[in-house]
């Protein structure tokens, strides 16, 4: 039987290196959208942002691609996995997004 590929099954060169390092560390990366408007070459920069239930990694270098990790992730282990990618790779920023529940004033009555 033929398997249908996912919409974002291809990886940029730098995203492929990141996914390889993440798989070695025991993570299961999921490729996301690609923006190929980046300049050729350059260092690989990674921006990490966390939402509830997932981690989004934006990888730059030969374009920009998002890679997602779902479920609970140990941030220290993630940073160590990125550091194993080699020279020319740096983590640009780490952003944690926490959604607050909307609080309502007590009812009068």
Instruction: Give the model's confidence band at 21: pLDDT under 50 very low, under 70 low, under 90 confident, else very high.
Output: very high
Alpha helix (H) residue ranges in 1-109:
13-24, 75-83
Q: Nearest CA to 8 among 29, 28, 34?
A: 34
Task: Map tokens 């030969």 to a residue.
Answer: 62
Task: Map tokens 């990125």 to a residue.
Answer: 82
In this predicted model, what pLDDT tens digit does every residue of 47-105 receive, in sequence order? 999 887 889 999 988 788 899 999 888 888 998 999 888 777 888 888 876 555 556 56
Determine which helix (DSSP H) or strand (DSSP E) holds 15, and give its type and residue range.
Answer: helix 13-24
Q: Give residue limits of the domains in the chain.
A: 13-96
Q: Classify strands 44-51 and 89-96 as parallel, antiparallel or unpaired.
A: parallel
């Amino acid at each position: 039987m033929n398997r249908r590929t996912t919409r974002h099954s291809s990886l940029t060169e730098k995203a492929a290196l990141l996914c390889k390092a993440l798989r070695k560390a025991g993570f299961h990366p999921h490729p996301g959208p690609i923006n190929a408007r980046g300049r050729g070459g350059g260092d690989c920069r990674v921006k990490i942002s966390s939402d509830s239930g997932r981690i989004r990694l934006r990888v730059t270098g030969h374009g920009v691609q998002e890679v997602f990790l779902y479920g609970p992730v140990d941030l220290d282990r993630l940073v160590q996995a990125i550091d194993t990618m080699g020279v020319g790779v740096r983590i640009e920023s780490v952003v944690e997004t926490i959604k607050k529940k909307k609080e309502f004033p007590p009812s009068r009555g």
